[in-house]
Amino acid sequence: MLKIVHTGDIHLDSPFSGLDERRASVRKTELRGTFSSLMTFVRTEGVDILLIAGDFFDRGFVTRETLAIIQREFSRVPDCRIIISPGNHDPYVPGGLYARVKFPQNVYIYKDPAFSKFEFPEINCDVYGYAFTGESLTSSPISKTEDNGRIRLLCAHADLDSPASPYAPVTSSQIALAGFDYAALGHIHNPPALSESDGCIFGYCGCLEGRGFDETGVKGAYYIEIGDDGKKSVRRLPFAKRRYESESVNVSGASSSLEIKERIKQLIRERKYTDNTLLRVTLTGELLPTLVISPETLADGIDEVFALEVRDETSPALNIDYLDSDPTVRGAFYRELKGRLADPDPAVRATALRALRYGLSAMAGENIVD
pLDDT at position 369: 53
What are the residue boundaries of the structural domains of the chain, listed by start?
Answer: 2-238, 243-363
Q: Coil, strand or helix: which one is 280?
A: strand
Q: Please say if the pLDDT value at position 370 is more than 70.
A: no
The residue ranking higher by pLDDT, 329 or 324, is: 329
Written as one string, the DSSP assignment of 330-350 is HHHHHHHHHHHHT-SSHHHHH
Kindly indicate the confidence band of residue 129, based on its pLDDT and cuts at 50, 70 and 90. Answer: very high
- pLDDT band at 319; cut points 50, 70, 90: low
- Neighbouring residues of 269: CB distance < 8 A, sequence distance ≥ 6: 304
Supply the pLDDT for residue 273: 97
Q: Rounded to 5 degrees, what are φ and ψ at 128?
A: -100, 155
Residue with the larger pLDDT of the pair 346 and 158: 158
Nearest to 70 by CA among 81, 80, 57: 57
- Half-sphere exposure at residue 72, Cβ-oriented, CA atoms within 13 angstroms: 12
DSSP code per residue over 193-255: --EEETTEEEEE---SS--STTSBB--EEEEEEE-TTS-EEEEEEE--SSEEEEEEEE-TT--
The whole-model pTM stands at 0.87
* Contact by Cβ (8 Å): 202, 174: no
pLDDT of residue 255: 87
Lowest mean pLDDT of 80-84, 234-238, 343-347, name the range: 343-347
- CA atoms of 137 and 91, how far apart (whole Å): 10
Give the span between the Cα atoms of 147 and 179, in whole angstroms: 7
**Residue 33 in this model has a pLDDT that exceeds 80:** yes
Q: What is the pLDDT of residue 357?
A: 79
Tell me the mean pLDDT in the region 123-133: 98
Identify the band that residue 79 occupies on the pLDDT scale cut at 50, 70 and 90.
very high
DSSP one-letter code for 146: P
**pLDDT band at residue 365, thresholds of 50, 70 and 90?**
low
- pLDDT tens digit string along 204-262? 999 999 999 999 999 999 999 999 999 999 999 999 999 999 999 999 989 899 999 99
Residue 35 CB-density burial (10 A; 0-12 exposed, 13-18 middle, 19+ buried): buried
Tell me, what's the pLDDT at 200? 97
At residue 316 the predicted structure's pLDDT band, cuts being 50, 70 and 90, is confident
Mean pLDDT score of the chain, rounded to an integer? 93
How far is Cα 127 from Cα 183, in angstroms, rounded to an integer?
9
Q: What is the mean pLDDT of residues 279-296?
A: 87
* CA geometry: angle 288, 291, 294, nearest 5 deg: 135
Greatest alpha-carbon span in the chain: 87
The arithmetic mean of pLDDT across residues 342-350, rounded, is 86
Q: Are 285 and 313 in contact (CB under 8 A)?
A: no
**Beta bridge partners of residue 116, listed in sequence order:** 129
Q: What is the mean pLDDT of residues 82-111?
A: 96
* Mean pLDDT for the stretch of residues 183-209: 96
Give the pLDDT band (50/70/90) at residue 127: very high
Query: 334 pLDDT band (50/70/90 cuts)?
Result: confident
Distance separating alpha carbons of residues 280 and 263, to the nearest angstrom: 14
Q: In terms of pLDDT, which residue wins out, 337 or 266?
A: 266
Mean pLDDT of 191-211: 96
Strand residues in the chain grouped as ranges (E): 2-7, 49-52, 81-84, 107-109, 116-120, 125-129, 151-157, 159-160, 169-170, 182-186, 195-197, 200-204, 220-226, 232-238, 243-250, 277-284, 286-287, 307-312, 315-316
* Residues listed for the chain: 370
Domain 2-238 has CATH 3.60.21.10: yes
Q: Are residues 157 and 168 in contact, defined by beta-carbon separation less than 8 angstroms?
A: yes
pLDDT of residue 232: 97
- Band (pLDDT 50/70/90 cuts) for residue 339 is confident
The distance from CA 164 to its chain's CA centroid, rounded to whole angstroms, is: 22
Q: What is the DSSP letter of 368?
A: S
Residue 356: the pLDDT is 83
Neighbours of 314 (CB within 10 A): 23
Mean pLDDT, residues 57-81: 96
* DSSP count for the chain of H helices, then E strands: 8, 19
**In the predicted model, is pLDDT for residue 47 greater than 90?**
yes
